[in-house]
């Protein structure tokens, strides 16, 4: 009598080796991926902060060229993408929120992380010399801790 054994499938040892390899890859890849995501969010938030500074200086130059000054609300709307339906700048930490908000400071962490608050001179911005616009950002640094930075740009 001839017994024919068809061996199909993998042995337990082979499966254990594959699981061990996947575990090692996951142990290395997941922290790197999370670090990559955190760095991307931080860079996007800082880019928004720099863009707010550029747009504010551009507004000052526009007024100096004889154009009517935008209100603070109009300036923030422009920073967030302008007209409805156009590209909107979202908060990199929370896509349900816009990147630029009106006020002296971003919302409390964690909601305020990634927000850029644009605060105008008391009484509003009208383009007069001496008026200022304060730009404040809150983001997460490498440690990870919440960091707040502010710059005040004054119209000359």
Q: How far apart are CA 110 and CA 122, in angstroms?
A: 27
Cβ partners under 8 Å of residue 91, min gap 6: 45, 97, 98, 99, 113, 114, 115
Dihedral sign, CA of 50, 52, 57, 58? positive
pLDDT at 122: 72
CB 49 within 8 A of CB 149: yes
pLDDT at 86: 60
pLDDT at 89: 83
pLDDT at 16: 97
pLDDT at 83: 58
Successive 10-residue mean pLDDT values, the chain, 156 residues: 75 96 94 93 93 93 91 88 68 88 84 86 82 91 88 92
Residue extents of the structural domains in the chain? 12-155
pLDDT at 153: 93
pLDDT at 90: 86
- Which of 40, 51, 33, 46 is CA-nearest to residue 147? 46
- Which of 108, 103, 123 is CA-nearest to residue 52? 103
């Amino acid at each position: 009598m001839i017994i024919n054994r068809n061996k199909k499938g993998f042995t337990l040892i082979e499966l254990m080796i594959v699981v061990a390899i996947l575990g090692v890859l996951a142990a290395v890849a997941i922290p790197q991926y999370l670090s990559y995501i955190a760095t991307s969010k931080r860079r996007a938030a800082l880019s928004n902060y720099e863009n707010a500074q550029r747009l504010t200086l551009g507004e000052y130059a526009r007024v100096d060229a004889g154009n009517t000054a935008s209100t603070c609300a109009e300036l923030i709307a422009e920073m967030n993408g302008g007209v409805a339906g156009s590209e909107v700048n979202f908060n990199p930490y929370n896509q349900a929120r816009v990147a630029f908000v009106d006020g002296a400071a971003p919302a409390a962490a964690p909601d305020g992380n990634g927000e850029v608050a644009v605060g105008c001179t008391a009484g509003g911005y009208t383009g007069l010399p001496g008026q200022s616009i304060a730009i404040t950002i809150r983001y997460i640094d490498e440690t990870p801790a919440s960091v707040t930075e502010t710059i005040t740009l004054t119209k000359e």
